[in-house]
Amino acid sequence: MFQTPNYKQNLSLRLSEVLDDVGVNEEMVLKRKRATLLYETITTITSRSISNRSMYRFGSTSEGTTTIGLHSDLDCLWCDHDYNVIQDVADWKPGFSNLLMIQDNTTSPGYCFLQQFRNDVPLPVTHVLDEDYIRDASGRVLLKNTLYRDNIPAGLVQHGPSWAILGVPGKTDYNHVPAFHCNSWPYEAKAWLERQGTGRWPAEGMKRLAANTGCFVVPVGSKVSQNPELEWRISTSHAERYLMFSLNITQIRCYVLMKMILKTFFHHACESQITTFVCKTVLLHCIENTHSHAWQENNLFTCLSCCLHVLYNCLQQEICPHFIVPENNLMAGQFSSEVKALLLERMSYLIQSDGQALLRVHIDDLGQRLQIKLNMLYQKAENIPSKNDSCLQISGLLLLAIADATSGCISKTLSETIPNSPATAVQNLLNVLANHERYYKEGSKLEQRACSFLAPLVCSTLGSVITSNNIQTNNTIPPEALDWLSAGLNSDVASGKLKLASVFYSVRNLENTEFILRNTKGHYDFKKVEPICSCCGFSRNGLRRIFLEVAYHQNEEVLRNVSAFCVILTPAEIHCVPRELHYEMFRSTGDDLLHRNEDTDYWMDWAVVDSLPYLYFLQYKTYKYLQKFDDQNHALVMLAISAGIQQNLGHRETALNLLGQCLEQENQPNKALLCYMRSLKVRERNNIAKVHICRMFANLISNT
């Protein structure tokens, strides 16, 4: 099978070169893996402290089996640790919601029921607790998989077991899957640990490592289930990720090609019938049943053909065995006879085309790139990115994802830990930092790196909260607060420094304020620093070239030098907030509140502003007090420029509102009104610009 003619070897080598050019190479695969695992760790550390949940990013992003053009979904599995899922009553734990996995002749292979046990003694519950449970014919109280159906956050859509955040066309879709974890390996998967294929893969050590991950149960039943609302799917996603991490670059490229083919030839009719998971399963079976030396670059096309043949046979028989639990048929009940006929027809065309079909793949310009490599075209199109450009773009997006995760986690932490009482806020923030310290001392290197990104931002807020409490009583900055603020200075290029500048400005220590602002401006390189905001989910207009270059050439630690988080000032810090920014905490009228999402719009009760316009605003106010009028005018001009044309601002409306107030102070009401009107175009609702307009007109009328 694998003694290929020369043209197939040539096609394989050219295909390998093309995939290398679009970023499917060892370097980028490793970069994707590390970035995704760090993203996962940042989110999990935050979630474990807030809601006792862990987040896992399974699928192509963590495996490195995607490209920019594939626009792969982001699959996030959220594991609730308040539930203890067990396969043996001996694993029962007091104080937890214990759920016993049950499999009998009525459950589908790869699925189970969850029987509720008491949390005080290891005995089954005997009465139905609420509408999420049901008593079966045997008297067992079972948890229904509809548990989360009525708790889907606003803006999400249910797709099977997942909650999907649908993006705009061409952008990433997010799938959030709720799950419970079981520490033990599934009983029905134990045979896999002993199975040995032709390729002697996976190795015994890898199987033991995979088995130690246990399994998850997710709330969805089999499509051919007798009890669709009672079954929970047993997921070995963690083990499967270990298997994918062990693949060589040819195996990864083969999988990427399968996904490109799937998206190109099956997208418009029956895309949902052949999933990427089915393609992955076929690949794993092929690897298990072929010798390892077959998976070489000069054999890529033959390996791809082998996978397509196996997939064709699976379709023909309507049987695709799960790799770890083969009794679980992934194609059971998936398609009608009409759809099956169409799929087989298209699969037959792909196989018989002997590689010609690949020329029709437009994803990442694969077909055109391949024609150039095969000398079928003699001129490269100008719009096709080079290998360097592809790697830069991938690296930049990965670094941006880490920054967004850090920003989002800090915002979520503040929303959960800062209540109305400032004193309670201080203790809660100290608890968060104690948790970070524990992870840093006892955790893995990834956990240490994650905490090094999270902790400085919390330190800045803690210092600001302490100062705000003190200003209210004696208008001074306590040394303890300065220590915390200093610990947060290097969180990023600007936000930590601007928090300290706000504190000094609030007590009118203008010399220190001016010094910090000048220092911050000196480190803010417009050519490489990217604003970071997780509040609004805005669409970015490209990434700066130098940002991409440093993301490619350096590790994630460079984030501190090329990112500028937005400055968050909560109500607990109100005495450290300039008067002009106070208004942002009261942006929502009664009607506006009806248009807020309580899960994502908590930041609207804070004052939040992008670092660069806030830098210029503080400079304007500081120089005004110091009567440095030339510097004051320059700061105002720069504030206008940053509020108007600076790309990728998350809170442009706030920058425009600050600019408008400065223009009012300059006695330029017409220009101020234009700023407020433009601000309303950026954000129509939940925007304090409406109040500014009313206030300004009221002042004008009272002065006439």
Q: Residue 185: its pLDDT value, please?
A: 97
**Measured distance CA(289)–CA(149) in Å, rounded:** 41
Average pLDDT across each block of 10 residues of the chain; the chain has 704 residues. List them in order. Answer: 69 97 97 96 95 92 94 90 96 95 94 96 92 92 88 57 52 78 96 90 92 95 90 96 96 98 78 82 96 94 97 96 96 88 92 94 95 79 88 97 96 89 88 96 96 97 96 92 97 97 97 97 94 86 94 96 97 95 92 86 94 98 97 98 93 97 96 96 94 89 76
Are 129 and 116 a contacting pair, CB within 8 Å?
A: yes
Q: Residue 98: its pLDDT value, please?
A: 97
Q: Residue 35: its pLDDT value, please?
A: 96
pTM higher than 0.85: yes
For the CA atoms of 313, 2, 362, 552, the dihedral, rounded to the nearest 10 degrees, stands at 120
Topology (CATH level 3) of domain 1-24+247-385: Poly(a)-polymerase, middle domain (1.10.1410)
Which of these, 340, 343, 324, lies nearest to 332 by C-alpha position?
A: 340
Report which residue type is found at 250.
T
Instruction: Classify strands 174-182 and 157-159 as parallel, antiparallel or unpaired.
Output: unpaired
Sketch the domain layout of the chain as residue ranges: 1-24+247-385, 70-246, 389-702
Q: Quick count: other Cβ atoms within 10 Å of Cβ 521? A: 16
Report which residue type is found at 451.
C
Q: DSSP letter at 117?
A: B
Q: Residue 161: its pLDDT value, please?
A: 63
Q: Residue 678: its pLDDT value, please?
A: 97
Instruction: Compute the residue count for the chain.
Output: 704
